[in-house]
């Protein structure tokens, strides 16, 4: 499991959930800027390192176990998109462990459902050259509209591996290099699908802490967050592209949010 900690120039501790680059988007690490230590102590958690475990609360406990020697308050848990559910579970676990000075910052919060999961699987198969009709037929035969079993995920992984190997051959890689390429790519894709599958139909633990939510439609982003979990006071912010982590607009907004007091709305925002 990968846990990177950069020690601080302030007393703030950021816990950033990072699933790396999937598709065109930069890793969330980019939003930290060139001098993360200026923001506080920064611990980056590799969310896919625990994705083989289908139980989100257990994954959160595993990540919490890696944090225990380093955690100091005040704490800010930062997550984006499909890392939101795991981030909420981790925040709930931190609260249960007695950490009272806790807040969250969420970028474009979302939780995977069956449609999203199958769409991502189809995109991954398509990115490796499988026509969409064949990908749809393959996934329908395996998943049949339900949350995929571990066996179904392995079968999908085997198909991904075969496609990746064929792609490596097209790149004219040597046999050994082609196998390494296919294995590493397939492992990452399979972990990503497992990360999504564990969220489907999962009732996320309630962090109960203040939250700042960032989205291109702030009201919709806040509504999405409150469908996922129950928070304390909430505040929504606009960003033209909440996935442009390397862009100055999003980075400046994130850094500004960190300088603000935690949201203190009159009413607690409850799960919808």
Pick the CATH number of 3-111+202-259 from 3.30.930.10, 3.40.50.300, 3.40.50.1820, 3.40.50.10950: 3.40.50.1820
Task: Give, for all 272 residues of the chain, the pLDDT tens digit.
Answer: 556 555 444 678 999 999 986 655 679 999 998 888 888 889 999 999 999 888 899 999 999 998 866 677 799 999 999 999 999 999 999 999 888 899 999 999 999 998 888 888 888 888 888 888 888 888 877 766 566 677 777 888 888 899 999 988 888 889 899 999 999 988 888 889 889 988 988 999 999 999 999 999 999 999 999 999 999 999 999 999 999 999 999 999 999 999 999 998 444 444 44
Q: Is the dihedral of CA 45, 47, 50, 54 positive or negative?
A: positive
Contact 183, 148 (CB under 8 A): no
Contact 44, 16 (CB under 8 A): yes
How many whole angstroms separate alpha carbon 183 and alpha carbon 160? 9
Domain boundaries, the chain: 3-111+202-259, 114-197
């Amino acid at each position: 499991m990968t846990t990177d900690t950069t020690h601080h120039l302030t007393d703030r501790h950021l816990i950033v959930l990072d699933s790396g680059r999937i598709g065109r988007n930069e890793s969330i690490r980019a939003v930290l800027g060139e001098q993360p230590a200026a923001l506080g102590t920064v611990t980056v958690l590799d969310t896919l390192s625990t994705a083989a475990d289908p139980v989100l609360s257990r994954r959160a406990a595993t990540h919490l176990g890696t944090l225990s020697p380093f955690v100091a308050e005040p704490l800010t848990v930062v997550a984006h998109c499909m890392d939101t559910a795991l981030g909420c579970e981790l925040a709930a676990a931190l609260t249960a462990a007695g950490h009272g000075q806790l807040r969250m910052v969420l970028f474009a919060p979302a939780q995977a459902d069956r449609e999203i999961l199958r769409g991502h699987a189809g995109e991954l198969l398509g990115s490796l050259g499988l026509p969409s009709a064949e990908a749809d037929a393959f996934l329908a035969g395996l998943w049949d509209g339900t949350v995929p079993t571990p066996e179904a995920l392995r079968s999908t992984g085997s198909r991904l591996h075969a496609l990746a190997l064929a792609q490596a051959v097209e790149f004219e890689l040597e046999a050994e290099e082609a196998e390494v390429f296919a294995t590493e790519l397939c492992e990452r894709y399979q972990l990503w699908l497992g990360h999504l599958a564990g969220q489907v139909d999962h009732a996320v633990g309630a962090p109960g802490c203040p939250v700042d939510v960032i989205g291109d439609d702030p009201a919709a982003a806040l509504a999405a967050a409150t469908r996922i979990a129950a928070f304390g006071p909430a505040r929504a912010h606009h960003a033209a592209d909440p996935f442009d982590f390397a862009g100055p607009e999003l980075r400046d907004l994130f850094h500004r949010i960190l300088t603000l007091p935690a949201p203190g709305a009159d009413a607690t925002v409850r799960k919808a």
